[in-house]
Structure 1
Amino acid sequence: MVTISLCMIVKNEESCLERCLNSLKGLVDEMIVVDTGSTDRTKEVANAFGAKVYDFKWTGDFSEARNYSFSKASCDYIYSADADEELDEANRERFLQMKRDLEELDIDIVQMYYCNQLSFRTVYNYDRELRPKLFKRVRYFVWEDPIHEQVVLDPVIVNSEIEIIHNPAENHSSRDLCSFRKAIEDGKFLSRRLYGMYARELMMSGTDDDFFKAKRFFEESLQDTHRSLDEIKEGSCILSHIAVIEGDVAALLKYALKDAITEMSSEVCYELGDFYYSQNDYDEAIVWYYNAAYECESILDIQKSKELPRLAIAKCYKALGNNELAQDYEKEALEVQKEE
């Protein structure tokens, strides 16, 4: 049977690390825990499970810490996990069967289902998605084709049925937003993926201060010819929100129109609803909240097209004295929330 190294980076995870390691006990052959500055009992918990614990000075770069953890592994495969993940008994069995199967297969990466996202308002707008979680530690390059031969470069990836339960004890958005800001301050270019994740994290969890600190970056990004139309729309969502906070009508119009280059997003419609609600123009607010809920789609925060605009419509009808319609929309908001 192949051997597996568990590799983790942690900081102040005593509340959930024991649950995670318990769920992997007997499945992995070594546990590598890289601590980036815990002040609680995290390292004690890891040591109790026989983990090899290493200290790593936090640099603000998650990849550096992950790479360091991988460098300490010695088994055939590396399983990358976070402290707020766990496997239930059914998925422990699937994991063990996968481990047996890998003995007969030449697989580079195994993907597993990451579950329970929507319960915790994470930056992912879906509840179950495949993610690469298990990696062959040493990859051998071979030649293929009898003529015009070439080295095989593409990894062999398989999808498993293993489901990992994501069960965070706290929201990490503040930490993540600080990391985004540090990367920008260090002059690093945010890739298409990270740009969208920064915008999504702000929209779903950011405070007013987080938005203000991001303002200059997104303003400049809309002038960057390297940014795609999707990124322009995402940046426009962020800047529209800031305009509503600041009561800047001209800026709201500017960024709402940028979003309207294609079909408007639910997020910008929702911001327009918020603006008109702040002006006590409840009828106009209803129009835009309605568009957010029924006519458009979300690009950052799925709840801006689900229960949130419906609850906002209910709030408007209450302000207008129509409690019957308000109750109808509140009921619909609850039904939409259950569907998620």
Structure 2
Amino acid sequence: MATISLCMIVKNEEQVLARCLDSVADLMDEIIIVDTGSTDRTKEVAARYTDQIYDFTWIGDFSAARNFSFSKATMEYIYAPDADEVLDAENRARFLDLKNCLLPEIEIVQMWYVTEAFNTVMNVKRELRPKLFKRLRTFTWIDPVHETVRLDPVVFDSEIEILHKPLSVHGSRDFEICERIYARDGALSPKLRKMYAKELLKCGELPDFERAEDFFTMEWEKDPMAEAGREAACVLAHLARLQGNGAELMKYALRDMLDTPCAEICYELGCYYKDSMDYDEAIVWYQNAVSETECILDVEAGGKKSLEGLVACYEALLAQAEKAELQTSSEQQKQSIEIYEQQLAVYREALADWQLPEE
């Protein structure tokens, strides 16, 4: 049976920490809690499960805190949950089975990360994430001739599902970290750049977009048609719409149209025309977002959000038609009302049925 150290970093998690540890504590051989500055009862809760509680001064760097937590581990493997994660009974059994039969050559175990509520970066209901790590890696020579050391880790994709149950989103915290890194380094890694854009589109407010404007403008100006440039265009188009700057919005949208347009830009155009009460034009762009284009950052732009826009547009058109019909009834107005009612029913049903992709 493999031995496992649980290594967790926490800050002000008194509301969820016991829920998490109750679901995994008996599966662990040691529990290590690293506190990065709690002002609530987090450490008091943690003390019910372990005496290995360490303080780590927060420096705005989750990697540094996690590296510190891993440095305290002594078992064969390290499990790295967050405090808002839970294993239910079925997945506790799967975890125990894994622990009993884990082959020593496996260096990383991935588990399904399942978010039941809103998540600021995920575009699916569940995705595989590395969660269990071999503490000390052994190196193996491979190939019978021209031999070399295997560099890629041996990864096992398990069936374990970790339930992510956050009490709130952490967008503002993440934005602050990205802003600090950009101010310090003048750049973000490709992964962090994409995550920053995703999180802005999912939960950012106008001030968040305004603080991010310089960074994404720089990315767009490097090459508007590159992956980074197109992602930046989505952020900047959204900012322009929030600011009521139609000309700026059209600049980013039209450049995106030179290549394969993305659903996010079509959604922004739909919102722009809806806000201008040009509902027929808004419908064109919302429909393009839903059925003619692909999302590059936010899957909801091509689904839930655009469907909500379509419902709002047809509700507005129906209200206008019914008002006109009361004043001057005609066969054409009756037909318009019937069409709007039919379309409204279609999109209400589509909206009710829409959900994030499974994986």
Q: If the TM-score is normalised by the length of the shorter chain, which range does it land in?
A: over 0.9
Deviations 1:267-318 (A, max 9, x none): 1111111111222211111111111112112211111111221221221122
Q: In structure 2, the residue corresponding to 1:221 is in which secondary structure?
A: helix
Contact 1:293 1:305 in 2 (8 A): yes
Contact 1:30 1:51 in 2 (8 A): no
Q: In structure 1, the residue corresponding to 2:344 is in which secondary structure?
A: helix
Q: In structure 1, the residue corresponding to 2:354 is in which secondary structure?
A: helix
Report the alpha carbon displacement of residue 147 of structure 1 after superposing the two structures with TM.
3.8
Residues in 1 aligned to 2:142 and 2:315: alpha-carbon distance in whole angstroms: 70
Whether 1:109 and 2:111 are equivalent positions in the alignment is: no
Q: In structure 2, the residue corresponding to 1:290 is in which secondary structure?
A: helix
Unaligned runs of 5+ in 2: 320-336
Which amino acid letter does the alignment assign opposite residue 256 of structure 1?
Answer: A
Q: In structure 2, the residue corresponding to 1:120 is in which secondary structure?
A: coil
Correspondence for 1:272: 269
Contact 1:8 1:83 in 2 (8 A): yes
Question: 1:57-136 alignment to 2 at 5 Å?
Answer: 57-102=57-102, 104-116=103-115, 119-136=117-134
Question: 1:256-295 alignment to 2 at 5 Å?
Answer: 256-295=253-292
Correspondence for 1:148: 146
Which amino acid letter does the alignment assign opposite residue 2 of structure 1?
Answer: A
**Worse-matched range after superposition: 251-260 or 123-132:** 251-260
* Candidates 163, 166, 176, aligned match of 1:165: 163
Report the alpha carbon displacement of residue 204 of structure 1 after superposing the two structures with TM.
0.3
Residues in 1 aligned to 2:159 and 2:141: alpha-carbon distance in whole angstroms: 31
Which amino acid letter does the alignment assign opposite residue 106 of structure 1?
Answer: E
Residues in 2 aligned to 1:49 and 1:279: alpha-carbon distance in whole angstroms: 57
Residues in 2 aligned to 1:179 and 1:229: alpha-carbon distance in whole angstroms: 25
**Worse-matched range after superposition: 275-284 or 27-36:** 275-284
Contact 1:218 1:239 in 2 (8 A): yes
Q: In structure 1, the residue corresponding to 2:34 is in which secondary structure?
A: strand
Q: In structure 2, the residue corresponding to 1:247 is in which secondary structure?
A: coil
Distance 1:111 1:338, change over 3 A: closer
Deviations 1:44-81 (A, max 9, x none): 11111125111111111111111111111111111111
Which amino acid letter does the alignment assign opposite residue 230 of structure 2?
Answer: K
Residues in 2 aligned to 1:153 and 1:26: alpha-carbon distance in whole angstroms: 33
* Candidates 191, 196, 200, aligned match of 1:193: 191
Correspondence for 1:221: 219
Paired residues, number: 337
Correspondence for 2:240: 243
Residues in 2 aligned to 1:136 and 1:171: alpha-carbon distance in whole angstroms: 30
Bigger radius of gyration among the two? 2
Which amino acid letter does the alignment assign opposite residue 246 of structure 2?
Answer: V
* Candidates 216, 230, 233, aligned match of 1:233: 230
Using the size of structure 2 for normalisation, the TM-score is: 0.89
Distance 1:318 1:145, change over 3 A: closer
Whether 1:315 and 2:312 are equivalent positions in the alignment is: yes
Unaligned runs of 5+ in 1: none
Distance 1:97 1:215, change over 3 A: same
Which amino acid letter does the alignment assign opposite residue 163 of structure 2?
Answer: I
Residues in 1 aligned to 2:143 and 2:300: alpha-carbon distance in whole angstroms: 50
Deviations 1:95-132 (A, max 9, x none): 11111112x43211111111125x21331101111111
Residues in 2 aligned to 1:13 and 1:267: alpha-carbon distance in whole angstroms: 35
Which amino acid letter does the alignment assign opposite residue 291 of structure 2?
Answer: Y
Report the alpha carbon displacement of residue 228 of structure 1 after superposing the two structures with TM.
7.4
Report the alpha carbon displacement of residue 223 of structure 1 after superposing the two structures with TM.
2.3
Distance 1:51 1:295, change over 3 A: farther
Contact 2:222 2:229 in 1 (8 A): no
Which amino acid letter does the alignment assign opposite residue 35 of structure 1?
Answer: D
Correspondence for 1:39: 39
Q: In structure 2, the residue corresponding to 1:26 is in which secondary structure?
A: helix
Contact 1:199 1:300 in 2 (8 A): yes
Contact 2:286 2:307 in 1 (8 A): yes
Which amino acid letter does the alignment assign opposite residue 246 of structure 1?
Answer: Q
Residues in 2 aligned to 1:268 and 1:164: alpha-carbon distance in whole angstroms: 33
Contact 1:109 1:158 in 2 (8 A): yes
Using the size of structure 1 for normalisation, the TM-score is: 0.94
Report the alpha carbon displacement of residue 12 of structure 1 after superposing the two structures with TM.
0.8
Report the alpha carbon displacement of residue 258 of structure 1 after superposing the two structures with TM.
2.5
Q: CA RMSD in A?
A: 1.9
